[in-house]
Amino acid sequence: MTSDEIRVAAAKFRDDLFQDTLPFWLDRSIDREYGGYFTAFDRDGTQLQTDKSVWFQGRFAWLLATLAETAEPRDYWLDRAKHGIDFLRRHCIDRDGRYFFLVTQDGQPLRKRRYVFSECFAAMAYAAYGRVAQSEKHCQLAVDLFQGIRQHLGPDSILEPKLQPEVRPMKSLANPMILIGVAQEVRKATGLVECSETIDQCIDEIQSHFVKNDLGCVLENVGLAGEVINTFDGRLINPGHSIELAWFLMEEARQRDLPQVASLGKQILDWSLELGWDDEFGGLYYFRDCHGLPCAEYWHDMKFWWPHAEAIIATIHAWRLTGEDYYWNWHEKIRDWSYQHFADPKFGEWYGYLHRDGTLSSTIKGNQWKGPFHLPRMQYYCWQLLEEVIHAQPV
């Protein structure tokens, strides 16, 4: 890669973020009447419902607060971030301190899940806003919520399990993985020592229990001691999830100079690209089985937007880590396929859901799972990572 090629790539990510992706959301997602953000839109921005995803009150607020670090005017981004944060605080918390999953436009609760993902995204939002706005109040909110999340995910958790634990005790990769992401944000805002300790514990659990060297994969669900469970859930691989984990690990290695963690992240990426890439039609499968058996989910061979966004980030991380053209070639391959199939040059943003052959399954641009997070996060991170490479090069 030449310096000019890196500059062109960085500019492309920056321009797509500010000229294509963000305008789609900023023009229509902010609710001026009740606060918070809408996310349910069709291809052209037609609103499909007014109920609000609590995940995205936190996710979009995190993104907007993070943008305030590098994008001017700073107050523009912070004001819009606080729009979601205030809605979270007013309307999205149940009496027990846990957060809802879905609320009405005016904030009445509709649905609460047994997971703590709403809490995790809220903590990330508080941390980012507190750090950039220099608000001790929001930094403390982030710390308090982080501690609550750790308790909920610990051995004394009161969260309802998915399966009867006395019959089939099982744990999910999602928990240690998202805890790494939250801890990284809270540490960045507060310097809390427990964040790095938590991250180290999560990495150890992932490497000891979920990473399967003999199978060449990371499993989504395992027994409490890491046993492989011979069921649909127990054999499940989510390549996009594993790839997202890979770059979380490479980012942690970059921040703390942890070569063994960097190698683990690179190994997980290698496995996931090999298992996940569809050689016939291109793109990443949604689910795979660790023994090559059929998956239970009917969408197992569909192409969703978010694994591709995560793979675009992860391959840049691996290229920076190793300097190997192999990873840059993968990056271009995934990026080009994604822009060819997911991007909508007429109305902006990406479609979310494709059939296996890359044809459009739905024109939807947003719902309670898809919104302003994976795509703009990818564009922002890739822009920043490549800018760091540019500035590190000798003049």
Percent of the chain beyond pLDDT 70?
97
- Nearest CA to 171 out of 134, 221, 125, 212 is that of 221
Residue type, 146: F
The C-alpha angle 55, 56, 57, rounded to 5 degrees, equals 95
CB of 50 closer than 8 Å to CB of 114: no
Residues 171-186 have a mean pLDDT of 97
Tens-place pLDDT, residues 43-100: 999 999 999 999 999 999 999 999 999 998 999 999 999 999 999 999 999 999 999 9
Percent of the chain beyond pLDDT 90?
92
Q: Is the pLDDT of residue 395 over 60?
A: no
**Tell me, what's the pLDDT at 179?**
97
Q: Is the pLDDT of residue 9 over 90?
A: yes
Q: Residue 303 forms beta bridges with which residues?
A: 354
Tens-place pLDDT, residues 100-125: 999 999 999 999 998 999 999 999 99
The enclosing H or E element of 354 equals strand 353-354
Q: Is the pLDDT of residue 174 over 80?
A: yes
Tens-place pLDDT, residues 270-297: 999 999 999 999 999 999 999 999 999 9
Burial of 273 (0-12, 13-18, 19+ CB in 10 A): buried
**Tell me, what's the pLDDT at 156?**
61
What CATH number is given for 1-29+195-395 in this structure?
A: 1.50.10.10
C-alpha dihedral over 382, 384, 389, 391, to 10 degrees?
Answer: 160
Chain center to CA of 333: 21
CB of 389 closer than 8 Å to CB of 320: yes
Q: Is the pLDDT of residue 159 over 70?
A: no
pTM above 0.85, yes or no: yes
**Tell me, what's the pLDDT at 1?**
75
The enclosing H or E element of 184 equals helix 174-190
At residue 393 the predicted structure's pLDDT band, cuts being 50, 70 and 90, is: confident
CA distance linking residue 71 with residue 245, whole number of Å? 27
The region, left, alpha or beta by phi > 0 then psi within -120 to 50, assigned to residue 230 is: beta
